[in-house]
A = this chain, B = another copy of it.
Amino acid sequence: MTTEQIGKGLQLRTLVKHSGVLELSLVEVETPTPKADEVIVRVEAAPINPSDLGLLFGGADMSTAKASGTADRPVITASIPQNVLKSMAGRFDESLPAGNEGAGVVVAAGESPAAQALLGKVVAILGGAMYAQYRCMRASQCLVLPQGTTPAEGASCFVNPLTALGMVETMRLEGHKALVHTAAASNLGQMLVKICLKDGVPLVNVVRKQEQVELLKSIGAQHVCNASAPDFMEQLTEALVATGATIAFDATGGGRLAGQILTCMEAALNRTAKEFSRYGSTTHKQVYIYGGLERSPTELNRNFGMAWGIGGWLLTPFLQKIGPAAAQQLRERVAAEIKTTFASSYTRVVPLREVLTLEAIADYGAQATGHKYLINPNG
């Protein structure tokens, strides 16, 4: 240890009680003394991503949320529906930290040269427990941001950028030449538009509002289909014929959208087919569900032949599959393009205590495009 001791810091905690109650609170935790290869990061920016909400809310019905505690130490409680509670048994009565990713300044470092070299640097981290004032982390797990990058600019270096890059890589690995993305006006969706423009990959964007069509076209998207339009299926089929996309990444999960995409892919393939195939097109059509914005059941009409698949897609298993060297290449691309391709925008920047207000929960909990929060735990 060559740097000053950091005392205590606040950390956001999520607790699922076996009685079926969720409790969110702030607790004061001792900041550890970093080991030789570790650093202490003063977290200054951590986004609330849809992928954080599962752990944070523990399946609770947030319309039942109640506020208590004080302004500085707010407490939120909410009830967890009985049918969901079962799947939470593994975390009963354990107070868990949250926050997948974030960025901050290295304010203390262990004695190893690698750790010492990070002192004063702005770094991004994917490691959990980022909704906290301080985070102890292995030096090797810190992504050093280019000179002049602020923690706010680097807060979303991993989840959205690597997911967007992972979609394009998955498309290539599985032998497709173009892709479809839903909820495409999101931060992640806009990154994907920029990646595909840069890499020359044809992309079909699916959104739900006309203003989102215009937003995506304004940043260069060529194919944008509005799922709320009466001629959505025709729009989508035309875009699939034009691009040849046979793989899709769906953030909504529930409802008919995943099945509609497969139906339109099949229609697009059959339009150019040379002869009747009794089991439908023999070209494999794939939809990966990577989110659950729409909580209703997924409904498939199965009018898309037999060569199809639907499945879950997650970033971590994808990174494991491609291996550490390939994953590191993706991370370095993100760092290099953090102010352009991978720039994020947020609706509000809030301190930890404001994350635990009913008003904020109703806002960021809706997971709607344009309601994205950034936490500054030291703000």
Known contacts A90-B270, A253-B302, A289-B302; A278 and B55 CB within 8 A of each other: yes
**Cα distance A84–B94 when bound, in Å?**
53
Which residue, of A289, A297, A317, has the highest number of chain B Cβ atoms within 10 A?
A: A297
Instruction: Write the A301-324 contact mask toward B (1 if CB under 8 angstroms, else 0).
Output: 111011111111110010000000
Which B residues are CB-close (under 8 A) to A299?
Answer: 297-300
Assess whether A87 is in contact with B303, with CB atoms less than 8 Å apart.
yes
Main secondary structure of the interface of A (DSSP, over half): mixed
Instruction: Write the A201-233 contact mask toward B (1 if CB under 8 angstroms, else 0).
Output: 000000000000000000000000000000000
Tell me, yes or no, whether A280 is within 8 Å of chain B by CB: yes
**Cα distance A259–B254 when bound, in Å?**
13
Instruction: Write the A271-311 contact mask toward B (1 if CB under 8 angstroms, else 0).
Output: 00101111110100000011010000111111101111111
Closest to A254 in B: B302
Tell me, yes or no, whether A176 is within 8 Å of chain B by CB: no
Chain B nearest Cβ from A92, distance in angstroms: 9
Which B residues are CB-close (under 8 A) to A309?
Answer: 309-312
**Cα distance A111–B299 when bound, in Å?**
56
**Cα distance A314–B284 when bound, in Å?**
12
**Cα distance A287–B4 when bound, in Å?**
56
Q: What's the tally of chain A residues with a CB closer than 8 Å to chain B?
A: 42
Known contacts A270-B87, A277-B90; A314 and B306 CB within 8 A of each other: yes
Chain B nearest Cβ from A7, distance in angstroms: 30
**Cα distance A276–B93 when bound, in Å?**
12
Which B residues are CB-close (under 8 A) to A290?
Answer: 306
Chain B nearest Cβ from A356, distance in angstroms: 20
Assess whether B298 is in contact with A307, with CB atoms less than 8 Å apart.
no
Chain B nearest Cβ from A306, distance in angstroms: 4
User: Beyond the given A253-B302, A305-B312, could you list 11 further A-B residue pairs with CB under 8 A, ordered by the A residue number?
Assistant: A54-B278, A54-B279, A259-B297, A279-B314, A297-B301, A297-B302, A298-B302, A300-B300, A306-B314, A309-B312, A311-B311
